[in-house]
Structure 1
Amino acid sequence: MAGVARFVASSLAPAAQRFAPQAAAGILRQVLEIAIDGYQRFPGAEKIAETKLARSDDDVAVAIEAVIDQHIRLAGVQGFVTSIGGLVTLPVALPANLTGLAIVQARMVAAIAHLRGYDLGDPRVRTAVITCLLGEDGVTDRLKKSNLPTSPLGIATAPVFDPELDRLVAGEVVGELIARVSGKRMAITVTRRVPLLGGVVGGGVDGWSTYRIGQYADKSLVRRIRRPIEP
């Protein structure tokens, strides 16, 4: 079953090509704005981070663990990503499930970045947050193939913001997200004949991918001295 899911995911990944680079960047920009600023009953990344930090007696490591745990639960709740706070009605050119999950995972990574001292208003940091959604395997694979020039940390701490890199990352991330959802749908379809199993698989896949991304962001976005953007 896992092999079939991977095959379908890789086969459908080229569907992302229908998004021009600027269109993909626009989609991810919407996702990031909601993740960082919040939307209706969905608090933004900074608020979540500060709440967890206060409850952790200002222990950043504990706060980050709490942020990851919270978002694993949110991602794993069946139906959450298509119903919270009106997210399903957002004018984002992605399926509702994919949009919701991307927002949940982006908020988690952005909260981790904030706790590590990064400025979420810095466009370099925002590109790095989106890059983390590829996960460790996705970033490593693209670095080997030269589809990415550097890691999320390298992007966040670059001397200047690179708009072309931002568009490149957006295209890669949108393609990866579409591939993941395609693979998950195949896994759910295969298990649909078993009562409740499809829901367990769907929630489990979302929760596991969120855990992996959270761990990768925690490892990648180490505390750094901020550099101002050069004019």
Structure 2
Amino acid sequence: MTTTPEPSKTLVQRAPEVAGNVLRTILEFAIEGRGSIPGARAAAARTLQSRGEHEAAVDSLVMQHVGLAGAQGFLTNLGGLLTLPVALPANLAGLAVVQMRMIAAIVHLRGYDVDDRRVRVALTMAMLGEDDVRKQVAAGRLPGPPFLVATAPVFDPVLDHHVSERVFGDLGTKMAGKHAIVQVAKRIPFVGGPVGAATDGYFTYALGQYARREFVRRRR
């Protein structure tokens, strides 16, 4: 007699596949752009042209994306442009695009090839943030920091799957944490929305500073 697998078990079994597909979709959008939304390389080139110097351009890119992260309506609209294999709140998907785009733009300015699969794994890993990466490395679950992965001799597909799972899970954790903060803030009139925007902006700024420290410049 044939038994139908439980949906929950099927989802668990497909977790690496689902996580990989979600992150690839978000990363592709962040790097290549879509419609009127320019990708990371275009954003980096435009900012470098206006600022005239690489580090000034990095500063500007971080602050641009902090501003985008705080625009909740923009995040929701941006996330709505994505077609994902699982249900993910549009504002959370939009925030992930903004943060990945910022990191990818910084990585591009620092002289890395964002089409290189090793670099893509590294910039996805940077989405975890400095503290989590350090803990994962110390526990032996990651081979090293993003810079080491970006400059590794070969692409590691197993590491790619692991990083995708971890970052995908981190998105869910952030969603739950932010929801709790906003729910508490909503008890105070007119505060809930600004608190959500400030939280997104703060974490985006922290990721930007981590990326600029981690991906040392390779272009002379």
TM-score by length of 2: 0.90
For structure 2, which runs of at least 5 residues remain unmatched after alignment? 1-10
Helix, strand or coil: the match of 1:79? helix
User: Quick one: distance in 2 between partners of 1:106 and 1:36?
Assistant: 8
| Structure having greater relative contact order (Cα 8 Å, sep ≥ 6) | 1
1:88 counterpart residue number: 80
Q: Percent identity?
A: 45
Q: Deviations over 1:12-47 (max 9, x none)?
A: xxxx96861122111100001000000112110000
Q: Residues 135-214 of structure 1: matches in 2 within 5 Å?
A: 135-214=129-208
Bigger Cα displacement from structure 2, 68-77 vs 188-197: 188-197
User: Quick one: distance in 2 between partners of 1:186 and 1:219?
Assistant: 31
Contact 2:29–2:97 (8 Å) recurs in 1: yes
CA positional deviation for 1:78: 2.4
Match of 2:69 among 43, 62, 75: 75
| 1:33 equivalenced with 2:22 (yes/no) | no
Helix, strand or coil: the match of 2:107? helix
1:42 counterpart residue number: 37
Amino acid at match of 1:80: F
| 1:217 equivalenced with 2:211 (yes/no) | yes
2:5 counterpart residue number: none
Q: Residues 111-150 of structure 1: matches in 2 within 5 Å?
A: 111-150=105-144
Q: Name which one, 1 or 2, has greater alpha-carbon Rg.
A: 2
Q: Residues 47-62 of structure 1: matches in 2 within 5 Å?
A: 47-57=42-52, 59-62=53-56
Would the alpha carbon gap of residues 61 and 197 (structure 1) be closer, same or farther in structure 2, given more than 3 Å must change? same
For structure 1, which runs of at least 5 residues remain unmatched after alignment? 1-15, 226-231
| 1:106 equivalenced with 2:100 (yes/no) | yes
Contact 1:67–1:108 (8 Å) recurs in 2: yes
Would the alpha carbon gap of residues 177 and 18 (structure 1) be closer, same or farther in structure 2, given more than 3 Å must change? farther
Tell me the number of residue pairs that the alignment of Structure 1 and Structure 2 aligns. 207
Amino acid at match of 1:24: A
Q: Deviations over 1:116-168 (max 9, x none)?
A: 00011100111111011001111111112222111100110000011110000
User: Quick one: distance in 2 between partners of 1:202 and 1:77?
Assistant: 10
Contact 2:125–2:167 (8 Å) recurs in 1: yes
Amino acid at match of 2:73: G
Alignment RMSD, CA only? 1.5
**Divergent runs of 4+, >3 A:** 16-19
User: Quick one: distance in 2 between partners of 1:117 and 1:91?
Assistant: 30
